[in-house]
């Protein structure tokens, strides 16, 4: 990857949500989760890699008994689009008869989150819920998860976004706030709009 291109993407991006707006959304998400799970001893699953930011902030705000684990499922392999889910890591904790909260950074097409939810159900979870920092409401695909149970922020556009865990070509996850890539600079690896963008890219 050309680092000059990454810097250009970063410098020309349009701000969508400030860091403070993100933290306010995380506060509200955490409060809502705590209300429903305070006595349910949940397992909170982080969807790597993109979900790390949202996951770490949410569990730091939850003052209740819980266990944490992770899954690593990717459609992108470092690119901006993909079709087939590749499982790189499954949870280590037994999900049978447990309440599971799946935390990711973004819901767009919804295919990967739908597959992870169904996986947890096949492992015997009593209940499954999804929590995402950003919902791209206009990007659902047929067969994808229709909505997340807990959502921090939402946009109704096809903007390719980065920041707060979301990446552009595996970079810019550490940007404070959430930004939209300048379409003129979007370095697609296919001529079509990304199916599901940043959440599950690999190292």
Q: Given pLDDT bands bounded at 50, 70 and 90, which one contains residue 75? A: low
Query: Model confidence over 140-161: pLDDT tens digits?
Result: 998 999 999 999 999 999 999 9
Cα separation, 27 vs 152, whole angstroms? 9
Residue 84 is predicted with a pLDDT of 66
- Cβ-count burial 13-27 (b if 16+ within 10 Å, e if not): beebbeeeebbebbe
Task: Quote the pTM value.
Answer: 0.88
Domain boundaries, the chain: 3-185
Reduced to 3 states, what is the DSSP secondary structure of residue 33?
A: helix
Which residue has tokens 């939209």? 180
Across all residues in the chain, what is the average pLDDT? 89
Q: Given pLDDT bands bounded at 50, 70 and 90, which one contains residue 86? A: confident
Query: Model confidence over 151-199: pLDDT tens digits?
Result: 999 999 999 999 999 999 999 999 999 999 999 998 554 333 344 554 3
Mean pLDDT of 77-96: 74
Q: What is the DSSP letter of 184?
A: G
**Between 10 and 86, residue with greater pLDDT:** 10
The four Cα atoms 114, 116, 117, 119 give a dihedral, to 10 degrees, of 120
**Beta strands 161-162 and 99-107: pairing type?**
unpaired
- Least confident range from 66-70, 108-112, 149-153: namely 108-112
Are the C-beta atoms of residues 55 and 46 closer than 8 Å to each other? yes
Examine the pLDDT at 126 and tell me if it is beyond 50: yes
Residue 193 is predicted with a pLDDT of 38
**Between 77 and 37, residue with greater pLDDT:** 37
Question: What kind of fold does domain 3-185 have according to CATH?
Answer: Rossmann fold (3.40.50)
**Beta bridge partner(s), residue 188:** none
């Amino acid at each position: 990857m050309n680092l000059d291109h990454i810097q250009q993407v970063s410098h020309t991006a349009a701000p969508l949500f400030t860091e403070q707006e993100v933290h306010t959304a995380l506060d509200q998400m955490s409060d809502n989760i705590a209300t429903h799970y305070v006595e349910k001893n949940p397992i909170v699953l982080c969807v790597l890699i993109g979900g790390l930011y949202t996951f770490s902030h949410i569990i730091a705000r939850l003052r209740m008994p819980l266990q944490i684990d992770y899954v690593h499922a990717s459609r992108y392999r470092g690119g901006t689009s993909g079709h087939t889910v590749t499982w790189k890591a499954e949870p280590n904790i037994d999900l049978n008869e447990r309440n599971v909260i799946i935390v990711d950074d973004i819901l767009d097409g919804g295919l990967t989150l739908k597959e992870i939810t169904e996986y947890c159900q096949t492992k015997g979870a009593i209940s499954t819920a999804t929590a995402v920092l950003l919902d791209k409401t206009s990007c659902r695909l047929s067969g994808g998860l229709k909505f997340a149970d807990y959502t921090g922020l939402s946009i109704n556009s096809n903007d390719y976004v980065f920041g707060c865990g979301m990446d552009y070509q595996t970079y810019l996850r550490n940007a404070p706030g959430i930004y939209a890539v300048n379409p003129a600079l979007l370095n697609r690896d296919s001529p079509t709009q990304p199916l599901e963008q940043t959440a599950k890219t690999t190292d």
